[in-house]
Structure 1
Amino acid sequence: MPAPLASSASSPPSAPARTPSGDGAPAPAARPGPTRPCLTELRLSAFAGHRRAGFPLGPVTLLAGASGSGKTTALRAYEALARLAGGAGLAEAFPDPVACVPERARPDAQRRRGFRIGCTADGPAGPVRLDLAVQAEPELRVVGERLSAGGLVLLETALRDPGRRTVQAAWHTAGSAPVTRAPLPDDRLGTALLPLRVAGKTDGQRQVLAAAEQTLVALRSVFACDPRPERMRAPVPAGSGRLLGGCDNLADVLWRTRAECTRRHAHLVAAVRDGCAGTVSDVLAEPLGDGTVRALLDRGTAPRTELARLGDGELRHLALALVLLTGPGVLDVDPPGEVPDAMRALTVLADGFDRALDARQRLHLLRLAVRMGERGHIRCVGAVSDASWAAGTDGVTVVHLEP
């Protein structure tokens, strides 16, 4: 359990970085990072059951731990940061903010309690740290944010006047004025607002923009996924063909993807063949007369099998394989449209990655995730109860959580 937070969420988050100097000197050059921006660390400094926790993230990461160790909490924190990066307000990113406050956190003299969260995004601009302090009580608001890179604070915000719904922001300029100051809304991520506020006329401003945009791109393309077999068996209404997080509309998506890319569909069929009992020669969907679509497995010479007859493990394996083999155009995500596909990676957050799967199914999915991660298009963070079965698998980062 975390230590008391007290009033620590009423001040800007701490980070090992220096503030902008007044001499306008340029910051140290950042080392080149990955071509596609990606998160390399998730930090839960004081968040729900986590205290001073940092989780390294690779192309494929498994968060392993018993029930109550905080695996789902970590995934929800990642998803919340992604929503903030996409422009969502605090209330949308944290629908139950009080649940994010550490249990033993004591309110300060003004009865304020809050939580702290952060991440590191690596990419062409080098490692960039984002740290955020949020007040949950008595009202939800940002009370401090810091964006830093190369030992330099590029953006810092702080709540100066509790009576105003703004935070005072200062960002690096390195021009005639070393720092630009302005108020920002206290219900939005300041980093997400910088591209609209910074002109990019000086080297310092361009550094700020590069760091902010890298962080936003790394965070925005996220698909939170937890397939629900009980919702996947019945026919579904024909719709947009964009897969939902629970994979309820799997049949509708298969109806679309089978016709769009025969090569990708062939990979899916091969994956399903490895995870389902019996012969599988195709995975298909067909429209019914009532406006719905149902999915089936083609068994070759044997009768076709409706998804309703498959086991929970087979359905979850099929759904997760489809997620790993497809992309933002099919999944229900909101990627940054102004960034080319070749410059961004989709991150799949898979809660209960191994739920209902047998040993063969979970190993196959893990290896599929590794292969897709090696291509750079897909990253995966999955929560599992035990990761001993993944030991020795190259390309997998295992993070053990204690209850």
Structure 2
Amino acid sequence: MDSPGTRPTVTELRLSSFASHRGGAFGLGPVTLFAGPSGSGKSTVLQVYEALARLGGGAELAEAFPDPGGCVPEGAGEDAEGRRGFRVGCTVNGPVGTVRLDLAVQAEPELRIVGERLTSDGHVLLSTALRDPGRSRVQAAWYTAGDAAVTRAPLPDDRLGTALLPLRVAGSTDGQRRVLAAAEQVVVALRSVFPCDPQPHRMRAPVLPGEGRLRRGCDNLAAVLHRTRTECARRHARLAAVAREGCAGAVAGVGVEELADGRLRAVLGRAAGRRATPLERLGDGELRFLALALVLLTGPGVLAVDPAAEVPGALQSLTVLADGFDRCLDGGQLRELAALAGSVCAGGHLRLVGAVGDGAAARSIEGVTVVDLVP
């Protein structure tokens, strides 16, 4: 994947038959917020994205879909063999063009991938099918374009075949190299994901220094701030400016205090002559606001993700998944965060897919797409 300029990115999610969704196809821009009331299926969209990301990273199917019965479309009956399942997929744009990945998953009586298809420009590069239900294998066929049009071999039925292709395809023909490039583009895009759900009740306690990569729940916020204020001075200053808009009172800066026992406590600096406010005294909304702003202003070097080492950083794009993006926030805080996301994600290195109850506050912000879901 050495073509310059285009970063592999997931540009569409398909929930063809999944939970409450049937025939769902959702385009994804630099910032996409799924909006709707409880039960509208917005969190389900993010669930599918994260599941595909796990599969792209080599996880087993049961890790990606821990509750497979809940993934089966509502009201779906069993076939003659007592089987039920679901279908999901995505489209990835990048250096090799547009690549589609589609999965058919059997959820009951046992969880397994029964069909996978990887296509590019209408050409099938990989297809798998369950031939013998008594074996934990699918029959795979991938494009060769050599002496034989395709190569056939068994693959495990609990892993994404696309992610296994680099271990199976030699790359000795133009066809094989095309298959490898398409598979790599999909895997790189899917792996580059940071699910984020700040937990205020865990963010208030002081933390030990040394761990400078922000975790999913942002409970080590103070340790990360201790790192960013020295390594990323410009972005840290921007975080302080954002904090002034989303936190109560006059904010002079965002800092870290070292306690007598060596632990670190994050604080909001105040005006001259006023004592700093420990973050533990802030409300849940202010804590979530600060954590999400920090996520948007940092990157793979600070967030706890495993970027694809085989692809230069300049050609990667990290996607932040933020379910409950507006949880505990008021309208002003949501607008400020959405505006920050639109500004940061315009550069292409970062993308955001989030879920909100009401997208009205973000609807008119440049660079932000709000997708309304109806129960």
Mark yes or no: TM-score above 0.5: yes
- Number of aligned residue pairs: 372
**Residues 38-49 of structure 1 aligned to structure 2 (within 5 Å):** 38-49=9-20
- Alpha-carbon contact 1:33-1:122 (below 8 Å) kept: no
Runs of 4+ in 1 over 4 A off after TM superposition: none
- Alpha-carbon contact 1:33-1:126 (below 8 Å) kept: no
Which amino acid in the other structure matches residue 210 of structure 1?
A
Aligned to 1:28: none
Aligned to 1:234: 205
Aligned to 1:142: 113
CA distance in 2, matches of 1:65, 1:55: 14
- Alpha-carbon contact 1:33-1:123 (below 8 Å) kept: no
Which amino acid in the other structure matches residue 334 of structure 2?
R
For 1:212-253, what per-residue CA distance to the aligned partner results, in whole angstroms no more than 9, with x for missing partners?
111111111111112122221121233522211121111121
CA distance in 2, matches of 1:168, 1:75: 30
Q: Which runs of 5 or more residues in structure 2 are unaligned?
A: none
Which shifted more, 270-279 or 315-324? 270-279
**Residues 1-400 of structure 1 aligned to structure 2 (within 5 Å):** 35-301=6-272, 302-400=274-372
CA distance in 2, matches of 1:362, 1:119: 28
C-alpha displacement at 1:84, in angstroms? Answer: 0.4
- Alpha-carbon contact 2:363-2:369 (below 8 Å) kept: no
C-alpha displacement at 1:103, in angstroms? Answer: 2.5
- Alpha-carbon contact 2:105-2:113 (below 8 Å) kept: yes
CA distance in 2, matches of 1:38, 1:263: 27
CA distance in 2, matches of 1:154, 1:209: 9
CA distance in 2, matches of 1:115, 1:33: 37
Which amino acid in the other structure matches residue 311 of structure 2?
V
Quote the sequence identity (%): 69
Q: Find the residue that maps to 1:43 and give its secondary structure.
A: strand
Which amino acid in the other structure matches residue 395 of structure 1?
G
For 1:117-153, what per-residue CA distance to the aligned partner results, in whole angstroms no more than 9, with x for missing partners?
1000011111110000111111111100000010100
For 1:19-65, what per-residue CA distance to the aligned partner results, in whole angstroms no more than 9, with x for missing partners?
xxxxxxxxxxxxx9961111110000111111111111000001011
- Alpha-carbon contact 2:56-2:187 (below 8 Å) kept: yes
CA distance in 2, matches of 1:239, 1:400: 42
CA distance in 2, matches of 1:291, 1:197: 50
Aligned to 1:15: none
Structure 1 length-normalised TM? 0.89
Which amino acid in the other structure matches residue 341 of structure 1?
G
Q: Find the residue that maps to 2:107 and give its secondary structure.
A: strand
CA distance in 1, matches of 2:307, 2:85: 29
Which amino acid in the other structure matches residue 326 of structure 1?
T
Q: Find the residue that maps to 2:227 and give its secondary structure.
A: helix
For 1:270-305, what per-residue CA distance to the aligned partner results, in whole angstroms no more than 9, with x for missing partners?
111221122222212233333532111111311100
CA distance in 2, matches of 1:234, 1:227: 14
C-alpha displacement at 1:332, in angstroms? Answer: 1.5
C-alpha displacement at 1:326, in angstroms? Answer: 0.6
Structure 2 length-normalised TM? 0.96
Q: Find the residue that maps to 2:346 and give its secondary structure.
A: helix
Q: Find the residue that maps to 2:311 and give its secondary structure.
A: coil
Which amino acid in the other structure matches residue 342 of structure 2?
V
Which amino acid in the other structure matches residue 162 of structure 2?
T
Aligned to 1:27: none
For 1:149-173, what per-residue CA distance to the aligned partner results, in whole angstroms no more than 9, with x for missing partners?
1010000001101111111000011
CA distance in 1, matches of 2:259, 2:66: 38
Aligned to 1:22: none
